Amino acid sequence: MYGLRTTVLVALVALVALGAVGLFVVDAGETSPDPVLFDDIVTMGAPSEVEFELAETGADVPRVQVFYSQYRYVVGYYGVEGFVSDLREPAHEQRFGYPLSVYVSDFSGTDPDLTEEGYLQPTGTVTWAEADAVVYVVGGDARTPVGETVVPFSDPADAEAFADAHGGELLSWAELLEEPIEHDDAATVRQRVDEQAAAADALVEATDDRRDRPVSVVVGAEGPPDGAETTDDVETAATIAEGLEAAPSGTTVLVAEGTYRERVEIDRPVTLAGDGAVTMDGEGDGTVIELTGDAAAVTGVSIVGVGDQVRIDHEELDEEDIEADEWDTQMELGYGHTDAGVTAAAADDVLIEDVDVETPANGVLLRDAEDAVVREVTVEGAGYWRDGYMGVTVMRSDGVIEGSTFVGGRDGVYMHRGDGIVIRDSVFEEGRYGIHFMYTDDALIADNRISEQRDYGIIVMTDPERNAIVGNVVHDAVGGIGTGGTDTYVADNVLYRLDEGLTTGTVNSVYEGNAIVDNEQGLRTTTILPSSQVSANDFVGNEDHAISPTGPLRLWPGNYWEGAIGASDGRSLDRPYSPTDPVDSRLHRVDGTPALAEAPAIEMSRGLAGTVPGMRAASIVDTRPNCGLENPDRLAEAGFEELVEAHGCEGPRSSTP
């Protein structure tokens, strides 16, 4: 915990519309304000990922809080190096003004040690000190998940002792500002995505034993097929229910080709496997297969005749099913106990694989099911979304959904408190939302293809944390990706032929490597606090590349904007580009605009707008736009080969020779 020498409320505003209550506001008349509570200030970029990574280890990270002359909120940084790096960004002062006061964490008196990973572990209370009054240990063994970190001490003797123990050199504030520092806040979220994908691979691999269980019962045939692995005594059964009742735990009930008009429950670790074209018909009455035992599995069947119940009465819920939160209760009533092709309820480690479902309700329902694996499933819902329900409903469950296809119905996958779920390599067509987040943190949505949704391809609601949306292709819908919450990572997606490609409705998030092509609105900002990183994205063929209805100036360096002009160094253009500027916004679609943009009067106006705070509101400026596409491979994979050929770096892009 951070102690304060003095905690002063400079000004407190209730930003209800932002969902951010209690942010400190700088008093323009206060030239030397005291430090404030770090939890009550705006943090920039995505470095709060660092704090999340360190929380469980008891480790700490040096912090900075800055009072700027032209920015009304107190700004926080995780890592001194993060602030120094931002301070060096072109037009940083244009965005915020100059620092009135800078405070850094003071590790003097805390006797800090390092974990095996190099993370700081102070034993005393960390306080605040003025940045120019401390000594910094640079280049030592201290680290955060992002990389090397700078450690401040108000007592030079403490700094020297720390450097003797853990390496590094001592620098003053002035020397630190001149020190070369490499800092990439996005590195932590990229690493988290890779680790989560690897964990999903391991979870899927762990289901191999459910596929390979020996056959103990054969349904609808005289015996198992030649070469099948079996138990010593293989029984036969006339119905699937009889077979499941007879099967010992850890074995497979193998069902011969045919249609079976029955509904069944698997209450222990048994695999129900189809051998050939196996159809289960619930005859329109309830859920067809219920998995109520851990490690239960179903593979290789088609399901029809699912019941159409999609909402239950309050009296039908057990007390333990009803949470105190009224919204959760409503979701439980409406989504958590519907009819489905397959339901896994209070059953962990289940496998649902190679299953086809035609349903007027849910295809698959996961309720309180941990580490579920749903793969190679096809769900065909109602043709009109209001008449159907979900391909998969995830209710307080996690696991992996992959390699599946969802057509029609309401939502392809709906998540309610599905923390940690991974949805990847799947196809979503002709629903309302492809993937719908509600109260879900730490999800990974990767490499899906989503098209012809009535509303959004991917929609993130209810302010979640640390979700990653990576490598998806979304097209021909009202919206592509609608984001919300904090610490979101949106990367390498291709969004085209949409009314609205992408919204940056999050804080402390990273948007990088996305290709936003041929949309009415390419990108729309929806938060007042400009605390997210937006870089290395491609904007081509959009009616409006980006709009910012509200908020202060946003600086998004290093994107490609069709129409941007200026001399090229082979990587960047020397003229900033503003997609919200009345002239720049027409460069890619109105003949003659490049000449107008370089007219002396227009250039003078642009210069004035860059220096007067009132003229910078609700603007987006790329201080060093790229001269060519950032993501040609992703675009080529999505079928835009001709576009890739037409948008490279060919020297000056200007109206003049």
Neighbours of 438 (CB within 10 A): 20
Q: Write down the mean pLDDT value for the chain.
A: 86
Note the pLDDT tens digit of each residue in 428-481. Answer: 999 999 999 999 999 999 999 999 999 999 999 988 888 999 999 999 999 999
CA distance 92 to 73: 15
- Quick check: pTM over 0.95? no
Indicate the SS3 state at residue 623.
Answer: coil
pLDDT at residue 385, as a whole number: 85
| Residue 641 identity | E
Sketch the domain layout of the chain as residue ranges: 12-184, 198-409, 471-657
CB contact burial 446-481 (16+ within 10 A = b; e otherwise): bbbbbbebebbbbbbbeebbbbbbbbbbbbebbbbb
Backbone angles phi, psi at 165, to 5 degrees: -80, -35
CB contact burial 229-263 (16+ within 10 A = b; e otherwise): ebbeebbbbeebbbbbebbeebbbbbbbeeebeeb
Q: How far is CA 417 from CA 462, 472, 607, in A?
A: 11, 22, 48
Note the pLDDT tens digit of each residue in 478-529. Answer: 999 999 888 899 999 999 999 999 998 888 788 999 999 999 999 999 876 6
Note the pLDDT tens digit of each residue in 528-573. Answer: 667 788 999 999 999 999 998 877 778 888 999 999 988 888 889 9
